[in-house]
Structure 1
Amino acid sequence: MFLKALYDTIMITVFVFAMMLVIEYINVQTRGKWEKIIGRRRFGQYLVGALLGAVPGCLGSFTAVALYSHNILSLGALVTTMIATMGDETFVIMAMAPRKALLVITALFFISIPFGWLTDLLIGKRANKFFKCECMEVHGEHCECFKREYVIPQLKQLSLERFLLLLISIVSILLVVFGVIGPEKWNWVRITILFVLFVATFIILTVPDHFLKEHMWEHVLKNHIPKIILWTFGALVLVELIVNRLNLDSWIQSSKLIVLLIACLIGLIPESGPHLIFVTLYVSGTIPLSILLASSIVQDGHGALPLLAHSRKIFLLVKLINFIAGISVGGILLLNGL
């Protein structure tokens, strides 16, 4: 049991690590350009909010909070982002079950937009008096992340961080190629994982030392990866115990409304890890899509933490709206057998 969970954890972490490097790279390269992307029409804001939520990880949510704090996004557009996001669990479900991941991400995208519109219609203007948009600063950091004349000198004077990241990346590629982790046979999943790993390796090879240390080493590797390893391994072991050892599968099947309520309550926690339990239960077929969607609608990973730091009232309001949306959508889908 523990060995299988360990192998699955390594595979998931490798993919998440590579994807986070790529997303971090793209985020820094495009920083400061979000305002140009957002249209002036209100529907355009909901669309952008849903797209930000669909970005794997919490970067899209952080961006939405920053834009909302500058009156660029409406409250409804912020709610749209928080409903559409799954936080770091997006990476995990993409690694475990890509087809199911696409279904969940697409469903959240289309569910989030009408709830964002309803939020602005019913309470958008009244909520403005609770939040003064003056605190948060959108940093315009720019990184020239690929300069040919710097690549060779950087490799000749290899820093410890770059060496270790390259080692992790190359070993991960070899493990996937030889089927130690991931799919045992060559298929599109293995090819996708390898493609992401090769892109991540290219980024590690070429970015400046500052970007590598601040964004890849300090932010991705030291901040996110340990939590993902612990929560993923813990969730996989817990699911194994629930399904095969404690025989709770039959209780879950007969108590879906209770499980739905528990999933939404856990979704209120501003942390990515606990939601992994429902991701793994869904992938294993123990819970239906409706419960995972309800949990995903309510939870927003770490995405809302910057909002909590600046306005507890708006944070609680967004959480309440998402809870109502999660219970409503999950309940309707569950009653219809989904």
Structure 2
Amino acid sequence: MITAQEFIDILIFSVRDGFVQVSAFVALTVLLFSYIQYRSGGRLVRFLEEHKHLQPIAGVLLGLTPGCGGAIIAMPLYVRGSISFGTVVATLTATAGDSAFVILTQAPVAAFYAYGLAALAGILFGYAIDFWGLGTGRLDRAFQQISASVMNGSLATASVSNSKQNIPNINKNCEHDISPDVSNGGFLYKVSHGIHIAWWALTIAGLIAGIEYLRRGAPEVPLAFGLDFPTLFTVAGLLGTSLSFYLYVVGRRIIGEGSSGQMRDFANTYDTFKHAAMETSMVTVWVIAAYLIYEYSIVIFSLDIGTLAAAVGIWAPVAGAALGIVPGCGPQIIFATLYASNQIPFSALVANAISQDGDALFPLMAIDMKAAIIATIYTTIPALIVGILIYYFWPYASMGFGVLG
């Protein structure tokens, strides 16, 4: 039974940690790719549309970007029909997530091999899905039956195999989503722009706190209000999440970003910042929800990742792949930290690196739940295959491979 104090503590720490540990890094990478999209005038997207044979490789490169920003960029491209479903799977298979920062700083050699294997698996599986389907048609039909009787309209894509645009006007804001306050520059319009600018200031503070957090080895950070690192971590996290919720629930309807999870052309540099903020705010809402579900489940059901990580033999990579099914990066960061402290074998790390979809799954879940579920299934399969092969044939599959110190 969870106590009232435990409930409040979990709420506060999840709201704080989600922004610093995840959202700040997501914002940076989404801004980077959005700015590249702006400066290139959309040429990169058109290049991908015109060179479909290169899409899985491009998806893998996006997924390998530490954090989830690169992979997040790919999801709207699928929804609007610019890239294939095989490219989505390739991207998510290679997604390193925020746990990559832990492995890169504390076990760089292991990171090189683990993410290299994830990239190879992503490329091979992505092309296999695009060329041969690998059963996507059967899953399509199964989910179509489920959507007709249970989900009723929450599954947007007609077929993951076709990868066609399934949501009308994906590059345009819906008129009913935009407040009339936009057109007359009213009070809420000015306030929302001010909050947007303040959000970026908090994001920079959160990024600084997040980097320091990783440099210190991802320790437990106390809730504090003073003039030290825990205070920066706490203030940036709590205020950053609060403003993220405002931007997602209210601000996007006021300053011209009525729909989230889209890839579009940008009018100017400020527009790219605004788009990155709105996309990150959406991810933040989902991340906090995932953090809360995970943390409350840990307490209520007495779950323990350490116990899962203690799986021995062939069950170690199976456990790593199973944990990767959980959306978001929170559990994966803990798993990576356990590897860095020599508590899980390399085979489990590789399986988890391939299976995890990170925060990139959230925008896809928000727009197209069916595609998100099927993609998760298709990233778990190569995770199990590669993890088990590593267990049997990799000479350094024991604990401690590549860990510094």
TM-score normalized by the length of structure 2: 0.53
Q: What is the aligned partner in structure 2 of residue 70 from structure 1? A: 80
Matches within 5 A, 1:1-338: 19-31=25-37, 32-38=42-48, 40-123=50-133, 127=137, 130-131=159-160, 133-135=165-167, 181=216, 211=273, 215=277, 219=281, 252=311, 255-337=312-394, 338=397
Matched-pair contact (CA < 8 Å) for 2:99–2:336: yes
Q: Give the letter aligned to residue 270 of structure 1.
A: P
Equivalent residue letter for 2:330: G
Shift of 1:323: 1.6
**What is the alpha-carbon distance in structure 2 between the residues aligned to residue 304 and residue 278 of structure 1?**
19
- Inter-partner Cα distance in structure 2 for 1:80 and 1:123: 13
CA deviations on 1:79-124 (whole Å, 9 max, x unpaired) are 1111000222223333443443333322222221011111122217
1:265-321 C-alpha deviation (Å, 9 max, x unpaired)? 222222221222321222222222221111121220121233334444433322222
User: Conserved in 2, the CA contact under 8 Å of 1:17 and 1:220?
Assistant: no
Residues 35 and 272 in structure 2, CA contact (< 8 A), matched pair in contact too: no
CA shift in 2, pair 1:94/1:311, >3 Å:
same
Contact 1:298–1:322 (CA under 8 A) maintained in structure 2: yes
d(CA) in 2 for partners of 1:121 and 1:209? 37
CA distance in 2, matches of 1:91, 1:290: 19
CA distance in 2, matches of 1:164, 1:280: 26
User: Which residue in 1 is equivalent to 2:5?
Assistant: none
Cα separation, 1, equivalents of 2:361 and 2:325: 11
Call closer, same or farther: CA 1:171–1:122 in 2, change over 3 Å: closer
The one-letter code of the counterpart of 1:109 is A
CA separation in 2, counterparts of 1:110 and 1:68? 21
Structure 2 vs 1, CA of residues 139 and 213 (structure 1 numbering), >3 Å: closer, same or farther? Answer: closer
User: How far does residue 220 in structure 1 lie from its aligned partner after superposition?
Assistant: 9.9
What count of residue pairs does the alignment treat as equivalent?
275
List alignment gaps of at least 5 residues for structure 1. Answer: 1-9, 142-156, 183-206, 234-240
Structure 2 residues without counterparts, runs of 5 or longer: 1-15, 141-157, 174-193, 218-268, 296-303, 398-405
CA displacement, residues 213-241 of structure 1 (integer Å, 9 cap, x when unaligned): 9729973997699799999x9xxxxxxx9
Query: What per-residue deviation string (whole Å, max 9, x for no partner) do you get for residues 133-165 of structure 1?
Result: 222766599xxxxxxxxxxxxxxx9x7657666
1:22–1:102 CA distance, 2 compared to 1 (3 A): farther
Query: In structure 2, do the counterparts of structure 1 residues 163 and 296 end up closer, same or farther at CA, with 3 Å as the change threshold?
Result: closer
1:126 CA drift (Å): 6.2
Alignment CA distance shift 1:98-1:216 (3 Å): farther
For 1:197, the equivalent position in structure 2 comes to: none
Distance 1:301 1:242, change over 3 A: closer
Aligned residue type for 1:93: I
Distance 1:224 1:104, change over 3 A: farther
Residues 217 and 113 of structure 1: is their aligned pair in 2 closer, same or farther, counting only changes over 3 Å?
closer
SS at match of 1:270: coil
Moved more, 46-55 or 211-220: 211-220
Letter in 2 for 1:215: A
Tell me if the contact between 2:85 and 2:130 (Cα under 8 Å) persists in the aligned partners.
yes
Alpha-carbon separation, structure 2, partners of 1:208 and 1:71: 27
Percent of pairs with identical residues: 26
Report the Cα offset of residue 63 of structure 1. Answer: 2.4
Contact (CA 8 Å) 2:317, 2:350: kept in 1 or not? Answer: no
C-alpha distance in 2, partners of 1:172/1:315?
28
